[in-house]
Amino acid sequence: MRDPLAKKVVDIKPSGIRKFFDIVSEMKDAISLGVGEPDFDTPWHIRDEGIYALEKGRTFYTSNAGLKELREEICNYMNRTQGVTYDPMKQVLITVGGSEGIDMALRAMCDPGDEVLIPQPSYVSYEPCAVLTGAVPVIIDLKAENEFRLTAEEIEEKVTDRTKILILPFPNNPTGSIMEKSDLEAIAEVIVKHDLFVISDEIYGELTYKGKHVSIVTLPGMQERTILINGFSKAYAMTGWRLGYACGPANIIAQMTKIHQFAIMCAPTTSQYAAIEALKNGDADIDMMRESYNRRRRFLLNAFKEMNIECFEPFGAFYVFPCIKEFGMTSEEFAERFLREEKVAAVPGTAFGDSGEGYLRISYAYSLERLEEAMKRFARFAEKLRSEKKA
């Protein structure tokens, strides 16, 4: 029998996160700090709307682009949070999570050979989704000395006449790094100068701890060059509802909607009704969860400071990214030993790209009690490694 598989699919490396958590799932009483999903349940009033939609028999396909009322609420939300205007009928697509939005944007915009700039460390899906379109991912290694922000110079260094898209992954998973307005202004200039487009993944945009998130679409000339990706998973603790959205120029959204129609038909109907409620009445829930994450963030930063472990202060998402270079091990070796010897799972920085070497991603979407226990174990492990080194 001939090989049934496509080479470009077989060649894609499996996610480093999943591989690691296969080990965790077999280990009893391991503490996982690995998963990138809120530990909160979806707020009750949002769940209620989902249940109500089912009770009402709203069990049909919606239009391909999603419920009109949801698209209108998304436009209201963009207007009140970022001061930008989108046309709900032409510039918004409801997707199956931010994940599908990223995939559809790349598929709609990339021809084989187009170069896509991907800053790393970053979320695991950008590179494989780009590869599947036949595009060429060009990695920009973000630097610890810049607190893992992206600079205009770093883009300039990688731009060629084949460059078409920049993925802008902020607030960032795994580093927690954010971009401020002045950082974005410098980048916007380079984008216009080289006639590029941006896919801005703002799935953690509601979770920032130093002022409000600024979207690149608010800068002059950027809205018409940017596909903004967001969703309900992180801000509203709705990962399992699988709902996200993309806002962007009408011509790009139209092509994304066409392929979304053929691949998916429409995003889950129950989730769309629940999401309308989230946007209308969910601001206080976001505030409550953000405050709780912020307490945990501060606890972790303090714990690492007490251990004398280098960790820059991240102002977004729900991750810290401590440096473990002093122990002379790769991130993967460190994470594996930490798991085996202290039963705590953190993700090696390299799961998010080679430039994550020497770092660990620790998620604080876990209770303070769990974080406290994990930090006790971290301190014990660090002491042990330091005395091993001395011996």
In the complex, the residues that contact ligand PLP under the rule CB under 6 A are 36, 97-99, 123, 169, 173, 201, 203, 231, 233, 239, 244
Pairing of strands 115-120, 136-141: parallel
Pairing of strands 347-348, 360-363: antiparallel
Amino acid 142 reads L
Closer to ligand PLP by CB, 236 or 312: give it. 236
Closer to ligand PLP by CB, 203 or 247: give it. 203
Closer to ligand PLP by CB, 16 or 169: give it. 169
Taking the complex as a whole, how short is the minimal distance between the CB of residue 391 and ligand PLP, in angstroms?
40
Taking the complex as a whole, how short is the minimal distance between the CB of residue 273 and ligand PLP, in angstroms?
18
C-alpha dihedral, 68 to 74 to 79 to 85, nearest 10°: -50
Taking the complex as a whole, how short is the minimal distance between the CB of residue 101 and ligand PLP, in angstroms?
8
Pairing of strands 136-141, 226-231: unpaired
Which tokens in the block code for residue 204?
């953690």
Phi, psi (rounded to 5 degrees) for 374: -65, -40
Closer to ligand PLP by CB, 316 or 358: give it. 316
Q: Which helix (DSSP H) or strand (DSSP E) does residue 93 occupy?
A: strand 92-95
Residue nearest to ligand PLP (CB): 97
Closer to ligand PLP by CB, 149 or 375: give it. 149
> Which of 282, 364, 260, 233 has its CA nearest to residue 76?
282
Taking the complex as a whole, how short is the minimal distance between the CB of residue 98 and ligand PLP, in angstroms?
3
DSSP states along 115-180: EEEEEES--TTHHHHHHHTT-EEEEEE--GGGTT---HHHHHHH--TTEEEEEE--S-TTT-----
Taking the complex as a whole, how short is the minimal distance between the CB of residue 281 and ligand PLP, in angstroms?
20
Which tokens in the block code for residue 333?
């070796």
Closer to ligand PLP by CB, 49 or 201: give it. 201
Closer to ligand PLP by CB, 37 or 357: give it. 37
Taking the complex as a whole, how short is the minimal distance between the CB of residue 301 and ligand PLP, in angstroms?
20
Taking the complex as a whole, how short is the minimal distance between the CB of residue 172 and ligand PLP, in angstroms?
7
Taking the complex as a whole, how short is the minimal distance between the CB of residue 185 and ligand PLP, in angstroms?
22
Closer to ligand PLP by CB, 233 or 257: give it. 233
Cβ neighbours of 26 (radius 10 Å): 8
Give ∠ CA 49-51-52 in degrees, rounded to 5: 60
